[in-house]
Structure 1
């Protein structure tokens, strides 16, 4: 039963703010990290560290954490698409795209999920959802800025395409999550999904780049510790715990702050420029996600 006391709501708000801060701050930190280790190996190590942290946490907590046969489809879709493919694409894109811009484009996943859910789940594509999708497309046009974007196949084009593909892969996984009949909470499956995603990324990295070449440094160690136990394991746990204490719309609206924090942190930590086109894209995309999100509130109870 969902807690409704003021203490539970306050605790949920703190946990949600913690997840938003960790995920937002991690965008410039990931950008720094790929300067020390190849993006695919960085993603693999980050995800596997997150899995190890959650397995340890659940082992101390006790209870059965082994997935059963009915949970295998959601294990494969989230572990393979959202974590395996999505993380690999995002970390690779950071080679070519600013961290703040990457955060904004990656979070267009909520926009693409709306038409996918209408097609796959029969959800009504409301006026609010349609308007949100259009606003998101306008926001992407602001980010790409057709008048100045270096069209043609180049690193800028590649990076943006990788981010859009990551957003679409996340959206597909989100639609499956909404369609799945949950037997247990998300947290029990999350370490297995992270493990699967980490193994898939590792196999890809080994095939494409060979064994990892890591020069030990305190900076890289701190970055990986932040990414694995904190920005992956702790942030996911905090977000799921907040979702139990808060209403679904409060959790969804709070998530809108992640690309904003990511964009601001990238400007402050990396000195990324605050161009008019990027600010316009941020405004339209966040507004579009807001409309697409509130367009689904009337449908629930999750």
Structure 2
């Protein structure tokens, strides 16, 4: 009994690590743009994460050669989540504050609800309908048509890129739900990150040219944190937590990521936090929680 309680306690602590690591990653991603162009910043962080995943996987003896059945999920996660999501977020962060970005990016579960109904045949019960309505209301509050400057093309482009990133992540989640796993998720993480790093580097070279980087201590710790904690440690911890805790508990716990990310952005980057952003975040988080609770039931 004590071992079970301790195991659950450790799992909850690891869940806290994931929330802290991913929440602060949004500040790191914003700061990286002071040193590198957007797509190269995403590529460099991915390369650092790939190296960290390889070291962690070898240390845990959890690196496996993928089989043919693994290729679709490697492509899905590597291209849609680790690749497109990272690049679009990095591009959007040029024009959108980190706090606002993390709230918009975590609308992803809201897009999963209709997509899972359309492509997987999952039912949308009253709780999930209410959650979707709350989430949409949260977006309306954030994009208050009476206060948002619709003439600001950079703001429109930045917010649009973040929402497009959320849609890419949602598409990946829907596929992962339907995928029949042949190899455990963490064993494939290195290959997914390796694919993302190769694609991001190729796209960055084509779109932004050869990287021009002034290496210094600040850039080193940003890439180190983004790769080691933002990708490798957080991914390992998330997979471990998913095995130890019910999916509903994990999903609700991860709603702390946008909350902590918004707090870090306000404290570290001195970004203003408006009442509409806080209200919108509360509605979005509440909507996601409503959908998760119904799915768990």
| TM bucket, shorter chain | over 0.9
**Structure 2 CA distance for aligned equivalents of residues 158 and 135 of structure 1:** 24
Deviation at 1:180, TM superposition (A): 0.7
Superposition CA RMSD, Å? 1.4
- What per-residue deviation string (whole Å, max 9, x for no partner) do you get for residues 112-158 of structure 1? 00110011111101111111111111111111111111114610000
Task: State the alpha-carbon separation in 2 of the partners of residues 144 and 36 from structure 1.
Answer: 30
Aligned to 1:275: 274
Q: Could you tell me how far apart the structure 2 residues matched to 1:83 and 1:181 are?
A: 20
TM-score, normalised relative to structure 1: 0.95
Query: 1:11 corresponds to which residue?
Result: 10
Matched position secondary structure for 2:122: coil
Distance of 1:231 and 1:82 partners within structure 2: 14
Shift of 1:64: 5.8
Alignment-derived partner of residue 194 in structure 2: 195
Per the alignment, residue 140 of structure 2 pairs with 141
TM-score (norm 2): 0.96
2:168 aligned residue:
169
Q: SS state of the match for residue 5, structure 1?
A: helix
Deviation track 1:162-191 (CA, whole Å, cap 9, x = no partner) reads 011000000010011111111222100111
Stretches of structure 1 lacking an aligned partner (at least 5 in a row): none
- CA shift, 1:57, in A, is 2.1
**Counterpart Cα distance in 2 of 1:220 and 1:150:** 33
> CA contact under 8 A between 1:4 and 1:245: conserved in structure 2?
no
The separation in 1 between residues aligned to 2:256 and 2:46, in whole angstroms, is 23
SS at match of 2:223: helix
8 Å CA contact 1:110, 1:293 repeated in 2: no
- 2:56 aligned residue: 57
| TM-aligned CA deviation for residue 234 of structure 1 | 0.4
| 1:271-299 Cα deviation digits (max 9, x unpaired) | 1112111111111111111112222213x
Aligned partner of 1:113 in structure 2 is 112
Structure 2: stretches of 5+ with no match in the other structure: none
Post-superposition offset of 1:59? 2.4
